[in-house]
Amino acid sequence: MVTSNFVAASALRVEEVCKSFPVLDVPGTSRPALGGISFSIAASELVSLVGPSGCGKSTLLRLIAGLDFPDSGELLVDEEKILGPSAARGLVFQDPNLFPWLTVRRNIEAGLVARGVLQEKRHEVDDFMRLVGLETFGRSYPHHLSGGMSQRVALARALINHPKVLLLDEPLGALDAFTRMRMQDEVLHLWENRRTTMLLVTHDIDEAIYMSDRILVMTSAPGRIDREIDIDLGRPRDRTSESFLRLRSEILEYLHFAGKAADVSA
Amino acid sequence: MAGAIAFAAHLAVYKNETPMEARTYTNFLATFLMISILIAVGQYRWRRLRAAVWRMRPLFTAAVLLLCAWELITAGWHWLPLPYFPSPAAVLQSMISDRTLLFDSTWHSLVLLLAGYFLGALAGFVSGVCIGWSDPARYWGMPLLKVIGPVPATAWIPLAMVISPSATLSATALIALAVWFPVTMLTASGISNTRASYLDVARTLGANQRYLIFRVAIPAALPSIFVGLFMGLGASFLTLVVAESVGVKSGLGWYVSWAQGWAEYGKVFAALIIMAAFFSTIMTLLFKLRDRVLVWQKGMIKW
């Protein structure tokens, strides 16, 4: 891992990024959402971003996706500045946001159509449908799918462009506990197979510990990276192991404290 | 079974013997009865026919009973003043005797309606997409839409007659105008209400502006666009009939007012019946188109 850090530069680098939004009630003022965020992610790393709601996690993800722009600071993917949305950075939301007017197959193809490469890459569609276990649902429309299935289509749709970085904004947040755990394993499986760099925003500490190489803990108002926690547990991980639980209570305790501190300052 | 229909029809035939002129109507009802009996027998052989018959039976019976009631009130008991409310037999008679002119009128109406409707729907779709998507188009288009749109297209008739060299041309333009407004309005609102997250997702998939408009915003707006198309269709019927009765010297609307001028109310009713069938057929076709295009919404639409 050490060598790879030297050989391959970080896949994603965020430097001193600040972003504030105007306060609509009071014209002329603005509320800082992100106050100088810096971190980097190595290629093929899976990093989680946790923090209280409203701390700017989603704002940060939108900046990395190129859907929004920072007030100051820099965002780089493979040492290239992010200038706008691109197929190189896939984004999966909590709501799968499948296009309801397209069948499952056409939803997965959407990225290829958008980039105008459907002709030469058509064969990959089947691979990706198989990869997420939906090969028999190609002709179904999204409203026939369950939440877990929809989210798998959304993952396949994002992955078919072979993004350098996959951004996941609480992708499993709306699923029930059992589907969620199964989907965590599926996402891990995809990650282990494809070694796509992933940045996962989540509310769920268990999910963060179970899945990621590293956890970035954010505090709110303004959003800052407060702490980085390396998860040194081997894979596959056991949610009930002693080390898992110790790590969990440690982080929870820390977050609780961080939350209080934020309240006092606000 | 369909026997109920047959029985009701039979009753009508029986009561119908009073008026003398009603040969054709008797024949009509006899044919109808025969078909009913054929269907009644046929349903035992074809299962699919049977399901359809069972579903339609109450509706059909009611329609036949209504026809009977009409006949009883007009021809049977003379409850309604005569020149204005002819019996079904008289209506059928005038429908048949004047069939060439009626057919001609229907044809003219159809051509005029379709020309105006397609023109207006197309223009409305284009301007709706522009106004819904681009801010400058919205800035300039919206006030225009708000000022011109609410004026009923029929209010322009006097002006249109003066400006345009041909009545047909101006009627086409008026129908197009009547359709244009609701289609533009609903298309624009559908486009601008496209869920932002659909657009965000598409952009992270590498979509360009063209993809965003044609493959995201327009499909997302289709349910709303269809509401506009239906409203436009209603407006086009109204404008068609008014325009025909005051300006254009052909078509069903003209036929109605012409027959009224001669106090031939049998013909008025005949034209009204044809109009009802004609308009509802077009409406049904639009519904069919909607069901086809919005198949992905199946189970979600309730109108």
B2 pLDDT more than 60: no
This prediction's pTM: 0.83
* DSSP alpha helix (H) spans, B134-249: 135-148, 157-163, 167-192, 196-204, 209-211, 218-246
User: What residues of chain B lie within 8 A of the CB of A115, using their CB?
Assistant: 205-206
Burial class (CB within 10 angstroms; exposed 0-12, middle 13-18, buried 19+) of B159:
exposed
CB-based contacts of B268, cutoff 8 Å, min separation 6: B256, B259, B260
The fraction of chain A above a pLDDT of 70, given in percent, is 93
User: What residues of chain B lie within 8 A of the CB of A87, using their CB?
Assistant: 204-206
A179 pLDDT more than 80: yes
> Which 40-79 residues of chain A touch chain B by CB within 8 A?
62, 65-67
| Tens of pLDDT, residues A156-165 | 999 899 898 9
Alpha-carbon gap, residue A143 to A102, rounded angstroms? 10
- Band (A7; pLDDT cuts 50, 70, 90): very low
Q: How many CB pairs under 8 A join A and B?
A: 75
Of B198, B296, B298, the CB nearest to A97: B198
Q: What is the mean pLDDT of residues B257-283?
A: 87
Of B204, B215, B295, the CB nearest to A85: B204
Most B CBs within 10 Å: which of A82, A86, A99, as the mutation test of the B interface? A99
* pLDDT number for residue B76: 64
Of A66, A95, A141, the CB nearest to B197: A95
| Tens of pLDDT, residues A39-84 | 888 888 899 998 877 788 888 889 999 999 989 888 988 888 888 8
* pLDDT number for residue A261: 47
Kindly report, as residue ranges, where domains of CATH 1.10.3720.10 are found in chain B.
Answer: 99-297
- Band (B3; pLDDT cuts 50, 70, 90): low
Q: Which domains does chain A have, with CATH numbers?
A: 2-97+164-265 (3.40.50.300)
Q: State the DSSP code for B188.
A: H
Q: For A42-51, A215-224, B78-87, which range has the lowest pLDDT when averaged over its residues?
A: B78-87
Superfamily of domain B99-297: MetI-like (1.10.3720.10)
> A133 in contact with B at a CB cutoff of 8 Å?
no
Closest residue in A to B298 (Cα) is A143
Q: For A198-207, A240-249, B85-94, which range has the lowest pLDDT when averaged over its residues?
A: B85-94
* pLDDT number for residue B161: 78
* Highest mean pLDDT pick, A220-229, A241-250, B92-101: A241-250
Contact in structure between A170 and A201 (CB atoms under 8 Å)? yes
B297 and A100 within 8 Å at the Cβ level: the answer is yes
| Tens of pLDDT, residues B228-259 | 999 999 999 999 988 888 877 788 888 888 88
Of A103, A142, A161, the CB nearest to B205: A161
ipTM here: 0.85
Higher pLDDT: A180 or B52? It is A180
User: What residues of chain A lie within 8 A of the CB of B208, using their CB?
Assistant: 114
Contact in structure between B114 and B96 (CB atoms under 8 Å)? no
* pLDDT number for residue B5: 55
Helix axes B99-133, B252-261, angle to 10 degrees: 130
Best CA proximity match to A51, nearest among A218, A178, A175: A218
* pLDDT number for residue A220: 77
Alpha-carbon gap, residue B174 to B158, rounded angstroms? 11
